[in-house]
Amino acid sequence: MFKLPNLPYAYDALEPYIDKQTMTLHHQLHHQGYVDKLNTALEGKEDLQSMEISELLKKLATLPQEVVTAVRNNGGGHANHSFFWTGMGPEKEQEPEGVLKQAIDTAFSGFTAFQEKFTQVAATLFGSGWVWLVVADGKLEITTTGNQDSPVSIGKQPLLCLDVWEHAYYLKYQNKRAEYIAAWWKVVNFRKVEELFGKL
């Protein structure tokens, strides 16, 4: 059975940028909901229940037909949110360092240009979805997924993600997605991104 992971920090740790109430509801209701629905869909399928969520998402196309949609939507929701939480942290205004900084400079002509491009993609993504920094074919790229789709299902390795579903920001920012994106940059955990990049 899949379980809701604890946040690696307190619900109010990202204040004032991401508020305690949004974090609490997002984690305890939205993320828990994906976990619960995933578990319901996989009832009686011990072979699938014992797999890592990332493995299920990588093998989406080969799963039994009756669970594909549930794994894609609810398994994706579980994996994406688990990853989203660890990509943020209480230490504010971090910037990439070391080999990650070099790779970002090479791929995007600098951190500022990377931030501008990611922000523009996030601001203009239509509907509900995610914006990602991934490694694909050995290169850094910015990509998006709709709904709860995961980049691992299409062979891309995620390094960082931003949830642009309205439930991620509506309580504090209402329809002002641009303000939410600007706030999110303040709490990005680039030490975690560097750690993931270093393992590739």
Of 5-13, 55-63, 168-176, 186-194: span binding Mn ion (CB under 5 A):
168-176
Cβ proximity to Mn ion, 108 vs 130, nearer residue = 130
Q: How far is the CB of 34 from Mn ion (least distance, A)?
A: 9
Cβ proximity to Mn ion, 33 vs 59, nearer residue = 33
By beta carbon distance, the residue nearest Mn ion is 163
Cβ proximity to Mn ion, 163 vs 194, nearer residue = 163
Q: Give the interface size with Mn ion as a residue count (CB under 5 A).
A: 3
Q: Choose, by CB under 5 A, the member of 108, 130, 165, 190 that binds Mn ion.
A: 165
What gap in Å lies between CA 30 and CA 26, rounded to an integer?
5
Q: How far is the CB of 116 from Mn ion (least distance, A)?
A: 24
Of 5-13, 47-55, 57-65, 162-170: span binding Mn ion (CB under 5 A):
162-170
Cβ proximity to Mn ion, 53 vs 103, nearer residue = 53
Q: How far is the CB of 19 from Mn ion (least distance, A)?
A: 15
Q: Choose, by CB under 5 A, the member of 63, 119, 163, 180 that binds Mn ion.
A: 163
Q: How far is the CB of 167 from Mn ion (least distance, A)?
A: 5
What gap in Å lies between CA 28 and CA 113, rounded to an integer?
35
Cβ proximity to Mn ion, 104 vs 181, nearer residue = 181
Q: Nearest Cα to 117, choosing from 142, 154, 95, 92?
A: 142
Go through the chain and tell me how many residues it has: 200
Contacts 24+ apart (CB under 8 A), 128-132: 128/164, 128/165, 128/166, 129/164, 129/165, 130/80, 130/161, 130/162, 130/163, 130/164, 131/161, 131/162, 131/164, 132/156, 132/158, 132/159, 132/160, 132/161, 132/162
Six token digits for residue 24: 């609490």
Q: Catalog residues that contact Mn ion under the rule CB under 5 A.
A: 163, 165, 168
